[in-house]
Amino acid sequence: MERIVGRCVLNAIAMCMALLSWAGVPEGVYCKTSLFKPGDAGSKFYRIPALLTAADGSIIAAADKRINCLWDLPNDIDVVCRRSTDMGATWSDAVTIAGEDTTTGYGDPALVRDRRPRKVLSFIMSGASFWQSCAENYQRLMLSVSDDNGQSWSNPRDITPQIYGPACTDTVRSKWLGAFFSSGTALQLADGRIMIVIPTRLTPERGGKISCYAVYSDDGGDTWSVSENPGDYAGDEAKVVELESGDVLMSIRNPKKGQRRFSISHDRGMTWGETYFQPDIIEPACNGDIIRYRHGSRSFLLHSVPFDDKERRNVSVLASFDEGKTWPVRRTLVEGGSSYSSLAVLPDGTIGCFVEEGDFKQGFVLNFIRFSPDWLLAK
What's 60's domain CATH number?
2.120.10.10
Residue 11 domain-assigned?
no
Residues 119, 372: Cα–Cα separation, whole Å = 27
Omega before 74 within 30 of 0, i.e. cis: yes
Residue 358 domain-assigned?
yes
Question: What integer pLDDT is reported at residue 102 of this predicted model?
Answer: 83
Residue 23 domain-assigned?
no
How many domains in the chain? 1
Residue 16 domain-assigned?
no
Domain extent, residue 225, equals 29-377
Nearest to 115 by CA among 361, 294, 370: 294
Question: In which band, very low, low, confident or very high, does the pLDDT at 58 lie, cut at 50, 70 and 90?
Answer: very high
Q: Between the CA atoms of 362, 310, 257 and 202, what dihedral angle is there, to the nearest 10 degrees?
A: -30
pTM above 0.75, yes or no: yes
> In this prediction, what percent of the chain has a pLDDT beyond 90?
85
Question: In which band, very low, low, confident or very high, does the pLDDT at 207 lie, cut at 50, 70 and 90?
Answer: low
Burial 178-212 (b: 16+ CB within 10 A, else e): bbbbbbbbbbbbeeebbbbbbbbbbeeeeeeebbb
pLDDT greater than 50 at residue 5: no
- In the predicted model, what is the mean pLDDT of the chain? 92
Residues 152, 128: Cα–Cα separation, whole Å = 26
Residue 241 domain-assigned?
yes
Q: Between the CA atoms of 298, 301, 307 and 313, what dihedral angle is there, to the nearest 10 degrees?
A: 70
Report the chain's terminal Cα–Cα distance, integer Å.
25
* Model pLDDT for residues 213-260, shown as the tens digit of each residue: 999 999 999 999 999 999 999 999 999 999 999 999 999 999 999 999
Instruction: Give 367's contacts (C-beta < 8 A, 6+ positions apart).
Output: 32, 33, 34, 35, 334, 354, 355, 357
* Model pLDDT for residues 65-92, shown as the tens digit of each residue: 999 999 999 999 999 999 999 999 999 9
Give the full edge-to-edge strand order of the sheet including 338-345. 30-36, 363-371, 351-359, 338-345
